[in-house]
Amino acid sequence: MSYGFENMDNPKYQPRNYRQKFNNLRFTGFQVSYLETDLWIGVDPGSYRETMKRVTESRIIELRQTLDDYIASDPGFATSLTPFRPSKAAPPEVKELTGASSLAGIGPMASVAGLFSREAGKVICENFPVKELVVENGGDIFVLLKEELVLSVFAGDSPLSEKVGMIIPAEMKEIGICTSSGTVGPSLSFGQADAVAVVCKDVLLADAFATALGNKVKSPESIHRVLEISEKFPEIIAVVIICEDKVGVRGELEIKLLK
């Protein structure tokens, strides 16, 4: 069953070559894939253990089965593009997805990639004493930091792709950074942004708001209006919007131009 994940067999799927630029001195990385889920996970080298992959795979399979089982009983959860009310018996993960997406005004599957990123990060932290952690799931990132981190924004064919860096300060510790695009990858978007990156303390909210704001970017001229919309939500720490050769930024984070 496929419902909102990026399918690696989909002809629109783009290989995640940007992962080759991840800092392999600061992070020891490994990949975890199951069905459509494709995670890159990096931990500080001193904390890395080979068994991390097995533990993460087990949690990802369990989570996927939980969602599949719920969708079998409540199919509308998987297809709704608007806020959805789950049954009272829904598992906690389903209720979290519907809560985050409802706040952003969209359907619950918009936050599913963020959920998988967070749960992979949580299960590693629960089983291993890591100092730093990055879980990347197609542009949806869960991080746990001890030092400042610069994240470049991938924006497909835009001349600004990977030229804009978001500086994530160490004091933020656990945080979510999620990106939506109307021009890159097969994920559903009703906008034309090359990238809308959103930072929130809750990665599910970051994922939901990235999709919701991305839907509203129809052209470079609409960037300012969408940034104004983002100001209505105190949960949003920062936003970066890239559309063609234009960029808009709002929020608390420092932005750095990269070579």
| Of 214, 100, 108, nearest in space to 155 by CA | 214
Over residues 93-107, the pLDDT tens digits come to 999 999 999 999 999
Pair of tokens at residue 226: 């969408």
pLDDT of residue 48: 96
Tell me the pLDDT of the chain averaged across its residues. 89
Distance, CA of 104 to CA of 101 (rounded, Å)? 5
- What percent of the chain is helix, strand and coil (3-state, nearest 5)? 35, 25, 40
* Cα 9 to chain centroid, rounded: 20
* Residue whose C-alpha is closest to residue 204's, from 140, 143, 137: 140
118-138 mean pLDDT: 95
Band (123; pLDDT cuts 50, 70, 90): very high
pTM greater than 0.75: yes
Q: Which residues, including other chains, have CB under 8 Å from residue 196's CB and lie 6 or more apart?
A: 179, 180, 181, 210, 213, 214, 217, 226, 239, 240, 241, 242
Q: Bridge partners of 241? A: 196, 248
Task: For residue 97, give both structure tokens.
Answer: 């997805």
pLDDT band at 24 (very low <50, low <70, confident <90, very high): confident
- Chosen CATH of 17-257 out of 2.40.420.20, 3.40.50.2000, 3.10.520.10, 3.30.70.3040: 3.10.520.10
pLDDT of residue 205: 97
Strands of 140-144's sheet, edge to edge?
28-34, 37-43, 133-137, 140-144, 174-180, 195-200, 238-243, 246-251
Q: What letters, b where the CB count within 10 A reaches 16 and e where it falls short, cover 55-79?
A: bbbebbeebbeebeebbeebeebbe
Neighbouring residues of 153: CB distance < 8 A, sequence distance ≥ 6 = 160, 161, 162, 164, 165, 166, 179, 195, 197, 240, 242
1, 84, 243 from 75: Cα distances, Å? 12, 11, 34
* H-only helix segments in the chain: 51-73, 76-79, 92-104, 112-127, 203-216, 223-230
- At 11 the pLDDT is 42
User: What pLDDT is stored for residue 25 in this prediction?
Assistant: 83
